[in-house]
Amino acid sequence: MTNEKIIEVEVTSAHIAEMRADGVPESEIPELGTIKRYRPARHRMHDKVAILLDRDIVDHFKRKAGSDDGEFYQRQINQTLRQAIKQG
């Protein structure tokens, strides 16, 4: 068993219509109401680095993300750093 998050999505008629429009073969289209489980996509390569941040900075991002879960507040920190780079 892993600690990875799993996303559960109920297949709706809109999903089925979209799959048909995208050319998915009928044999691969799930039944209406089926619960599909996914792991969130990991599109970006990550470099694991250790940096020291002041406690107030970490607390700010944890509050902003609404969670102590590192994945969510780290995402907030990454987005803020990207914005700073673009403005830079």
Strands, E assignment, 25-84: 35-38
Q: Containing H/E element for 13?
A: helix 13-21
- Mean pLDDT score, 36-51: 75
Q: What confidence score (pLDDT) does residue 71 get?
A: 63
Q: What percent of the chain has pLDDT over 70?
A: 83
Whether the per-residue pLDDT at 2 is higher than 70: the answer is no
Whether the per-residue pLDDT at 39 is higher than 90: the answer is no
Q: What confidence score (pLDDT) does residue 1 get?
A: 46
Confidence of residue 12 (pLDDT cuts 50, 70, 90): very high
Confidence of residue 63 (pLDDT cuts 50, 70, 90): confident
CB 58 within 8 A of CB 73: yes
